[in-house]
Amino acid sequence: MPRRLGLPSVYLAAAVATAATTAVPLAMTPASGFALAPVASEPGRPYIVTARNRVAARELVGEVRWRVRRFYTAALPGFATFLTAGELAELRSDPRVRAVEPDRQIHPMTAAAPGRRPAMRTGGAGTTVYVVDSGVDVARPEFGDRAWHAFDATGGTGRDCSGHGTQVARTIAGRYSGVAPKARIASVRVLGCAGPGTLADVLAGLDWIRRHARGPAVASLSFDGADSPALSTAVRALAGSGLFTVVAADTSTCRVTPGGAAYSANAPHLAGAAARYLELHPAVHPSVLASWLKCTTTRGAIRQNPSGASSLHMHSGGQ
């Protein structure tokens, strides 16, 4: 894979290695710490298990009882597995477990267009936006040499076969219409060609980002799933590691968390605006950036504290 703007070509190799480590192969044995239970007579259903800490997660994954599909080591302490009704009850009563939730479909969301663009005179140069979506058509001329396939949780090549992720990337950093036309785009594919993806794959993508992302950077998540405890844990982990994270919301209002994450119907636009801000303040922590972004319920506005060096204004469509 060619180098892009000084970014090492090991991204592709890292993606392959990550896919191999997050998806637990059938050949692994109990001695390796990743064990699969014998085939149960009762059919199991897919679940996501969030442990109380990494030690507890590793202990649980190492037990032969669970048919582990993915083991998350960075974005959250937990794993994806198949459970029977009895195993589900057993895990929910285990003191090492914080939460167990069904694995489910995650659907892409269409972003609302803001009424105006950020007023900042920057383009996001020197920043990277991790587009967690259906992939990105990195060969589009408007991306130049700024976009690359970073990771594919679905086991593919990162190709965007639905177009959603490419549209999100164009909104964020397209040369002609993007909010931050100089930002780099790292494609993290977690959604399938039919549109939806799985929560397990989404978490694998965020796990990869947590281990490999370098700042200044932003993560853009234009899909549903805000009610998932595991996804919320992973988003907090990204913000805690220094990555401002923007998650799609299905309302016209915006919510910013003190830890450095935002939930907005204008998610791609806000991700681009954050990249533009980070060009001027590359060392700022997400929690500080979040404190400068204010959401109002009356107009759905996202406004930077005017005491900063520049002014950022974004409004929901029609306002």
Helix axes 199-212, 229-240, angle to 10 degrees: 10
E strand residue ranges, the chain: 45-51, 67-72, 78-83, 97-102, 105-106, 128-133, 147-152, 184-189, 197-198, 217-221, 244-248, 254-256, 261-264, 293-295, 302-304, 313-314
The yes-or-no answer on residue 315 being catalytic is no
One of 133, 137, 152, 224 is an active-site residue; which one? 133
The yes-or-no answer on residue 164 being catalytic is yes
One of 252, 287, 310, 313 is an active-site residue; which one? 310
Q: Would you tell me how many other CB atoms lie within 10 Å of the CB of residue 27?
A: 7
Long-range contacts at 37-45 (CB < 8 A, ≥ 24 apart)? 37/64, 37/65, 37/66, 37/67, 38/64, 40/67, 40/84, 40/87, 42/84, 42/85, 42/86, 43/84, 44/81, 44/82, 44/83, 44/84, 44/87, 45/82, 45/83, 45/84, 45/88, 45/102
One of 149, 164, 212, 315 is an active-site residue; which one? 164
Q: What is the three-class DSSP state of 240?
A: helix
What token pair was written down for 145? 């040499």
Q: Please give the span between the terminal C-alpha atoms of the chain, in angstroms, as a whole number.
A: 44
Strand ordering across the sheet containing 78-83: 67-72, 78-83, 45-51, 97-102
What burial class does residue 20 get, using C-beta atoms within 10 Å of its C-beta: 0-12 exposed, 13-18 middle, 19+ buried? exposed
Residue position matching structure tokens 């085939």 = 39
The yes-or-no answer on residue 207 being catalytic is no
Active site residues: 133, 164, 310
